[in-house]
Amino acid sequence: MQSRFLVIDIGNSNIEIGIYDDKRYICSWRLGSDTSLTEDEYFAVIRSLAHEYQIDLQNIEICCIASVVPELTRIFEHLFEKYLSSSLINVTPYTPLGLTFPMEDPGFVGADLVVNAYAAWQKYRSNCLVCDFGTATTIQLIGADGRFFGTVIAPGVIISSTNLFQRASLLTKIQLESPQHTLGTNTRDALLAGIIKGHSYMVDSFIRELKKEYAHLGEVRVILTGGIAHLIKENLEEETILDKTLTIDGLYRICLQHVKQVND
């Protein structure tokens, strides 16, 4: 029987859940992050979703999570302990993945950043700038040798636009999509230009500056991930790679590394 892995990326706004076997991706789902739900309620949702793919959660060998929400970390740890007999890997900066950090104590580095760094390093085998568009927009540089150079953390598109809608009474919340023009001739188009193009200009500037500052590294690939990465990509001048499953792929690769270490 092939090994089955359950991987969970817990963010401030969304939870992404994926199931892999030791050869391939099988399926994934995205849920809203809700600290009011119990481990029983979350398990019921996951079990129902897995049932659609005829997956028995009792056959899961390893669960691997990366969480930036301590309350949800505890809920999912209780879920695994109560309902599953699989091994649990809770990724932190101290998880032995082969990454190296420029600071003595990397404890401040978020689990999502660690997993994205590891995923980019393992998948692309080159210097990578990873831009993740979630509740926050993060831009981090990972060397081809697994060195974590550092990160930029900026307010994300969703949280910035939501704050704007809440504070400006004459502006109405809109569906985010790629703007057709730089100047809008109505409120909706003007907002899209400011929100999407404005964020894209910021990211383009960071990419150019970081490539210049770290030119001694040689070629640097730019990887985009996160919920609205496709919208930002359409408005960037810099050449980029869209990788929507980077984080859960990273968790999957951590599972594979764990299996290899156990078997060696």
Kindly report, residue by residue over 39-68, the tens digit of the pLDDT: 999 999 999 999 988 889 988 999 999 999
Question: Does 91 or 180 have the greater pLDDT score?
Answer: 91
Compute the average pLDDT of residues 136-144: 97
Q: What is the maximum alpha-carbon separation in the chain?
A: 63
Active-site residue numbers?
A: 112
- The tokens for 230 are 């496709």
Q: Is the pLDDT of residue 167 over 60?
A: yes
Whether 170 has a pLDDT exceeding 80, the answer reads no
For the sheet containing 127-133, what is the strand order?
148-155, 136-142, 127-133, 220-226, 241-242
The confidence score (pLDDT) of residue 69 equals: 96
* Cα 20 from Cα 7, distance rounded (Å): 8
Distance from CA of residue 28 to its chain's centroid?
A: 13
Q: How far apart are CA 250 and CA 119, in angstroms?
A: 4
Q: Report CA torsion sign: 103, 109, 114, 117.
A: negative
Residues forming a β-bridge with 100: 147
Confidence grade of residue 226 (pLDDT, cut at 50, 70, 90): very high
Class of the domain covering 4-90: alpha beta
Token pair 């939501």 is at which residue?
Answer: 162
Given a cut of 60, whether residue 165 has pLDDT beyond it is yes
Domain locations in the chain as residue ranges: 4-90, 111-246
Is the fold of 4-90 the same as that of 111-246? yes
Quick one: pLDDT band at residue 215, thresholds 50, 70, 90?
very high
CATH number of 111-246: 3.30.420.40
Does this model's pTM top 0.85? My answer is yes
